[in-house]
Structure formats: structure tokens, C-alpha cells
Amino acid sequence: MAVFQAALINEIEKLYKKKKVMVAIFISLAVIVVGQLIIVGMRTGFGLRGVGSVEFPILVLSVVVNTILPLLTALVAIDCFSSEFSNNMMRVTLTRPVSRFKIFTAKVTTIVIFILFNLFVLFAFSLLAGFLFNANSATVAGFFKIVLSYSVSLIPMIVLALGIVFLANIFKNGTSVFFVSILGFLILKAGAVLFSQYSSLFITSQLDWYNLWLASSFPFSRIGHQLLIMLGYGIMFFTAGYYLFDKKEY
Amino acid sequence: MNKVIEIKDLTKVYPNGRGILDINLDIYEGDIFGFLGPNGAGKTTAMKIMTGLISADSGDVRIFGHSITEEYEKAMAEVGCIIEVADSFPFLSAYENLKQFSRYYPGVDDQRIDEVLEITGMIKFKHEKPRKFSLGMKQRLGLAAAIISRPKILILDEPLNGLDVEGMIDIRKLIMLLAEKEKTTFFISSHLIHDVELTCDRIGVIYNGKMLNVDRTDNILQNYATLENYFVSEVERNGRVPSSTNQ
């Protein structure tokens, strides 16, 4: 455990020193500010109601889970793997008394921590913006809905990150991984529309699964179904990614 | 003497047909072993397998009795190494790089980091990032990283690459000092015959992926005027010396 802990601290330190976290905070803030400005503009300019303090964080979530969150996750996942492959930096870590499984797991855990942090930043800022601009509609039940939505959104993001990690272990070049990830994302999004009867099988469709948790009559079976699909994808991507990582020669 | 590294029937052939074939070698405690061979002879391949960077087609390497494939963490616990190039993270300072490595070893603190930076002459660059370093400075930082855990074995692949004369002398002195004071065992590869002659007390010659011979340096120098003559003779005996080296 001490070795894994050391590997994890090292990975987090590397991520922090590369300033990716600051970029994530800045982009998240920008999205919220722009979003809130649009809503304020609509309210004052067109007399439209816009969204209340509870709806605003959910609205932000619905936008970011399909845009900047996967993008930032892809950048960090690529950085953790591809950048180190191409610069031969992986050798530096691999020649220490730490198994490849622990390094791989530490890298994946770092990506998960990054996603969690990013979601938390978005949650905190959007909640704050929602309260500042429309505090009248705030309720305790609404607050729990927001917490639940942001919390459950972590799961599909982890699956997506594992998919990108898998790709990062196939292609040596980070740019290739990035473009293949974007292309794959768009194809899956289009596929979910074209083959709507199978949309639950597409990972990208699961990014919006927080909506299921907000339904008035709780859809146990659908949530269980989606969770198992994501679990299946997650296990497959993790195993395949680790297999390739373990077999890599440096 | 205790066997610290045991290489048994090690074979690795790349798709281009190059690699190493059936290497058998034992390294004993306190040895400064020189792995001598021309470029492309298979030195780096053997050392990469020894440090787990690549896997062998067949055979095994045991370090302190632990198999590198089955018990990697135990096998590498007391090993420091530089393979090909002394890499370091360019976005971290020299200190932060060493701090990263130190976390894998209990008992390696900031004082030890300063100590290895002092030994390798890098203390004045402690807070600078390696992206600004010369090749020689990177090599020194790599050496600092290799010795940070006070390893019992140091595996160094071309450790003098990129160093100026002063740097070469410093590193040679450091190797002698560690071997004498801390009884560190060295496995050093080099294509610089003179350097191997000055540093190593046992020498193995590898050529075209095959181990030709292993002998003590003093034995060799009793029979040959220089290590270069021995190397040429060994290669000639195996019928593969290029005509230019025979003169």
C-alpha cells in the first residue's frame, strides 16, 4: 500500500505541476460566468424567466458533461500516459521498485481525482452563481438534487476516461489519441441518435444518466441496467488498458 | 562471494533479427562488472531486461534471488539504474525529480536528496528544471537519482555519455568511492574500452548478441597489453571482427 501511495502522490504532483488543474478551474469558471451572463441577459433583455438557483447548476452540468468535462478528462488522461510514452519518461518511473499494476492504477486514480475535483469546482461555482443571481427559489431538496446529479455524473466520466486510457495505450502519439477520442465521441453521439433503440449501449449516452436520478418516480431497473453496462465497459477498458500497459516495451 | 545478479539463458530477438542469444552471467557482490561490446551488440537489450523495461523471449534474471518477472518490486528494491539516457521530468526541478523517486524508498529524506546533489555536483542547480540542463548535467541528475536509495547494485548503461573529461573523471571517482565505501556492486555497459579498463574489475564481452567471454581485468591485462587487444582477440577468435579493428 505504501508503494501505491507513493506512486499516487507522484502522479498527483506531476498533474499539479503541469498546471492542468489551474486550466480546468479557469475553464469551469468561464463556462459558469458565460452561462450566468446569458441567463441574466435573457431575463433582463427579453423578459424570460431563465433558470432558478436549483436549475442553474443542473443546466451547467447538462452542458459540461457533453463538452468540456470529457475534453479536459481526455487531455489529462493523454497527459498521464501518451506524454510519458513519447518522451521516454515512463522509464524513470518503471525502473523503481513499483509494479506496473500499481503505476497504472495510480495514474487512473489520479484521473478519477481530477474528474472529481473538476465536478466539485463546477458544482461549487454554479451553485454560488445560482444563489447569487436567483436565491428565491433555493430549497434543501433542490440542493440534494444538485449534489446527487454531480455525484452520479462521476461514474460515466470514469468509464469515458478508462476508454481514453485504453486508446492512449494503443497509440504512441498523444495527438492521435486526442483526435481518435474526439472522433469516437462524435461517432458514438451520432450512433445514439441514429440507433436510438440501442442508445443505452453507447457510453456517450450514459453521460446524461444523472437525469434518471432526478425522475419523480425513481426508475430502479433502468438505473441498475445503466450501472451494469457502465461497470462492464469500465472493467473491460481497465483490463484491456492495463494489459497493453503491462506488455509495453521501453 | 555472494551472487547478486544471476542471468540465465537470456534470449530476446527483435523482428529485425537482432537481440541477445542465450546469455548466461553471474555477478558477485562487490564486482565492478564491465559489459563491453560495440554499438548494437545487445548490451542495452540485456540491461533493459534486467531492469524490467522489456521482457525476454526466454530465460530469467534474478537479483538477490528474486526473479525480475515474478517479484519485480523485491528484485528492484536495492537497485539503482540508468538505461540509455538519464531521463528526468522536465517540468519538475532537480529537487522535485529526486523527491519523486525518494518516495519509493523508506528512509530517503530531504537530507539525502541534498547529499546526492552535492555528490554529483548538482546542488547549485537544485531548484532549476532539467529542460534547461546540458546533456552532462542531465546525466549527473540521472546518477543522483540512481544512487538516491543507497542501492546495493547499480546498473549503468553508458553512464559517461554526454559528460566532458572532468565529468568522466568525477563519475569514475564516484563509482570507485561507492564500490569501496558502500560495497556497491556495479554492472556498467560501455563501448569506451579505455574507460572500462580504468573502472571495472571484471569484464564480459558481448558481440552480436552473444556472450564471448568473462574474465577478471587483472587476468586479462597479464596476457594482453591493453583491454582493446583482448577485445579484438576475443572477437577475432569468434571469427567476426571487422578488418578495421584488426589493425
The β-bridge relationship of strands B153-157 and B79-82 is parallel
- Distance of alpha carbon A104 from alpha carbon A111, whole angstroms: 11
Q: Which of B12, B22, B40, B33 is nearest to B211 (CA)?
A: B22
C-alpha cell at A93: 518511473
Is 80 exceeded by the pLDDT of residue A235?
A: yes
**In the predicted model, what is the mean pLDDT of residues A198-219?**
86
C-alpha cell at A210: 444523472
Partners of B52 on chain A (C-beta within 8 Å) are: 94-95
Place of cell 556498467: B188
Is 90 exceeded by the pLDDT of residue A92?
A: no
In a domain, B111, yes or no: yes
Q: Both B33 and B120 in a single domain?
A: no
pLDDT of residue A45: 67
* Domain, as residue range, for B144: 90-150
pLDDT of residue B244: 45
- Distance of alpha carbon B138 from alpha carbon B133, whole angstroms: 6
Q: Both B155 and B66 in a single domain?
A: yes
Q: What is the pLDDT of residues A133-190, one digit of tens each?
A: 766 666 788 888 899 999 999 999 999 999 999 999 999 888 999 999 999 999 998 9
Contact B104 A3 (CB under 8 A): yes
- Distance of alpha carbon B247 from alpha carbon B240, whole angstroms: 14
List residues bridging with B11 in a β-sheet.
B58
Of the two residues B174 and A53, the one the predictor is more confident about is B174
Contact B74 A97 (CB under 8 A): yes
Instruction: Identify the band that residue A73 occupies on the pLDDT scale cut at 50, 70 and 90.
Output: very high
Q: Both B213 and B105 in a single domain?
A: no
Of the two residues A173 and A103, the one the predictor is more confident about is A103
The residue among A1, A19, A92 with the most chain B CBs within 10 A of its CB, best to mutate, is A92
Q: Both B4 and B120 in a single domain?
A: no
Enumerate residues 6+ apart whose C-beta is below 8 A from B231.
Answer: B36, B193, B205
Q: Looking at A178-192, A193-207, A231-245, B31-45, which range is the least confident one?
A: A193-207
pLDDT of residue B238: 75
Instruction: Identify the band that residue A47 occupies on the pLDDT scale cut at 50, 70 and 90.
Output: low
Q: Both B60 and B160 in a single domain?
A: yes
In a domain, B18, yes or no: yes
What is chain A's mean pLDDT, rounded? 87
Q: Which of A189, A203, A190, A191 is nearest to A234 (CA)?
A: A203
Domain tally, chain B: 2
Dihedral of CA atoms A7, A13, A17, A20 in degrees, nearest 10, equals 80
Three-class SS string for chain B? Answer: CCEEEEEEEEEEECCCCCEEEEEEEEEECCCEEEEECCCCCCHHHHHHHHCCCCCCCEEEEEECCEECCCCHHHHHCCEEEECCCCCCCCCCCHHHHHHHHHCCCCCCCHHHHHHHHHHCCCHHHCCCCHHHCCHHHHHHHHHHHHHCCCCCEEEEECCCCCCCHHHHHHHHHHHHHHHHHCCCEEEEEECCHHHHHHHCCEEEEEECCEEEEEEEHHHHHHHCCCHHHHHHHHHHHCCCCCHHHHC
Place of cell 431497473: A221
Partners of A94 on chain B (C-beta within 8 Å) are: 52-53
Q: Both B176 and B69 in a single domain?
A: yes
Q: What is the CATH number of the domain that holds B43?
A: 3.40.50.300
Contact B73 A13 (CB under 8 A): no
List residues bridging with B8 in a β-sheet.
B60
**In the predicted model, what is the mean pLDDT of residues A112-118?**
94
In a domain, B175, yes or no: yes
Q: What is the pLDDT of residues A19-38, one digit of tens each?
A: 777 787 788 788 877 877 77
Q: Both B12 and B72 in a single domain?
A: yes
> Backbone dihedral region of B110: left (phi > 0), alpha (psi from -120 to 50 degrees) or beta?
alpha
Q: Both B1 and B61 in a single domain?
A: yes
**In the predicted model, what is the mean pLDDT of residues A189-217?**
87
- Distance of alpha carbon B166 from alpha carbon B171, whole angstroms: 9
Distances (CA, A) of A72 to A49, A79, A212, B33, B185: 32, 10, 25, 48, 46
In a domain, B232, yes or no: no
In a domain, B234, yes or no: no
Q: Which of A171, A177, A60, A159 is nearest to A111 (CA)?
A: A159
Partners of A97 on chain B (C-beta within 8 Å) are: 72-74, 76-77, 79, 104-105
In a domain, B101, yes or no: yes
Q: Give contacts of B 148-177 with A, CB under 8 A.
A: none
pLDDT of residue A25: 79
Q: Which helix (H) or strand (E) holds A156?
A: helix A154-170
In a domain, B161, yes or no: yes
Q: Mean pLDDT by 10-residue block, N- to C-terminus, for chain B (247 residues)?
A: 92 93 93 90 93 94 95 94 87 95 93 93 93 87 93 91 82 87 90 85 91 91 89 78 45
For residue B10, report the phi and psi dihedrals to the nearest 5 degrees.
Answer: -80, 125
- Asked if B238 and B212 touch (Cβ cutoff 8 Å), the reply is yes
In a domain, B238, yes or no: no
Q: Looking at A40-54, A209-223, B160-174, B229-243, which range is the least confident one?
A: A40-54
Of A3, A13, A95, the CB nearest to B51: A95
- Distance of alpha carbon B166 from alpha carbon B143, whole angstroms: 15
- Asked if B199 and B175 touch (Cβ cutoff 8 Å), the reply is yes
Report the residue of chain B nearest A87, measured CA to CA. B87
Q: Both B5 and B52 in a single domain?
A: yes
C-alpha cell at B83: 538505461
Q: Both B67 and B170 in a single domain?
A: yes
Tell me the ipTM for this assembly: 0.88
Is 90 exceeded by the pLDDT of residue A234?
A: yes
Q: Both B2 and B74 in a single domain?
A: yes
Contact A89 B53 (CB under 8 A): no
Q: What's the full length of chain A, in residues? A: 250
Is B192's Cβ below 8 Å from some Cβ in A?
Answer: no
For chain B, the straight-line distance linking the first and the last C-alpha, in angstroms and rounded, comes to: 39
Q: Both B160 and B59 in a single domain?
A: yes
